[in-house]
Amino acid sequence: MKLSELSFKVITGTEERNRAIQEALFAKGGVWCNDEKEVKNLDAVQLSYNAKLKTDRVECRLDGLQYSGMRFSPKHFFNEVIAPEVTFHQALDLIAQVDDPQPEFSFKPFDKIIAAYDGYSSTNWVPEFFSLLIRGSFWTMNRMQAPIMIAKYEGNENLLGESIMRKPAEWWEIKDGKPVLVKRDK
C-alpha cells in the first residue's frame, strides 16, 4: 500500500501509544499535515491520517477537502473526519502495510563513485566522478557511455577492478527511466 492510500482515525489513549503511532508513520515517510516531522509529546488524543473531511473548517487542506498528513485534534474534528475508526493495534497494522519510502537519489556532480559499464569484454567496477542524471541515464565525467550501475566510492574501494558479479551492499540502477536503489541480498 502507498502512504497516500492510508486513511484512518484512532483514539490512542496514552502518550506512549501516541508516540508509537507517530514514530511508525514517520518511518514510512509520513509527516504532520503541516509537513513537520517531529514527534510530539501528546496526552491521550485523537489522531487521524490522510482523511477526507466533511467540512472546510480545517486549516490543513489539499485539493479542497483532503489534507495530506497526520493531524491531532479535539473530539469535534475527530467526529467530522471521514475515515475508518480503528483501534491502536489496527492502526499500527495498517501503517506496517505501507511500502517503505524509496531513498532520494542524492548524487551531485563531482561526487566520487564506482561505476559498472555494459558492453566491455570484462565488466568491472571502475572509479569515476558522477556528472549528471540525464534522460533516464547516469553519466560520469570520463566516459562517453552511461554506466548501468553506480555506487558511492567510500566504503566500496575494495570492489575496484572486481567483476560486477561482486556487488556493494547497495547500488543504484535505472528502472523505468528513474534511479532505483538496489540492496544486495544477504
SS (H, E, C) the chain: CCHHHCCEEEECCCHHHHHHHHHHHHHCCCCECCCCCCCCCCCCCEEEECCEECCCCCCCCECCCECCCEEEECHHHHHHEECCEECHHHHHHHHHCCCCCCCCCCCCCCCEEEEECCCCCCCEEEEEEEEEEECCEEEECCCCCCCCEEEECCCCHHHECCECCCCCCEEEEEECCEEEEEECCC
pLDDT at 64 over 70: no
Domain boundary among 46, 72, 96: 96
Domain span at residue 174?
112-183
Same domain, 116 and 172: yes
53 within some domain: yes
- Residue 117 exposure: Cα atoms within 13 Å on the Cβ side: 15
Tally of domains in the chain: 2
Q: Does pTM surpass 0.85?
A: no
pLDDT tens by residue, 80-101: 788 899 999 999 999 999 998 8
Of 40, 66, 96, the last residue of a domain is 96
Identify the residue with better confidence: 56 or 71: 71
pLDDT at 159: 95
Specify the pLDDT at position 67: 60
Tell me what pLDDT residue 6 has.
Answer: 92
Flag whether 74 is in a domain.
yes
Tell me, yes or no, whether 12 and 92 share the same domain. Answer: yes
If asked whether residues 124 and 42 sit together in one domain, one would say: no
Residue 40 has pLDDT above 60, yes or no: yes
Q: Which of 85-89, 99-103, 113-117, 125-129 has the lowest mean pLDDT?
A: 99-103
Residues in the chain, total: 186
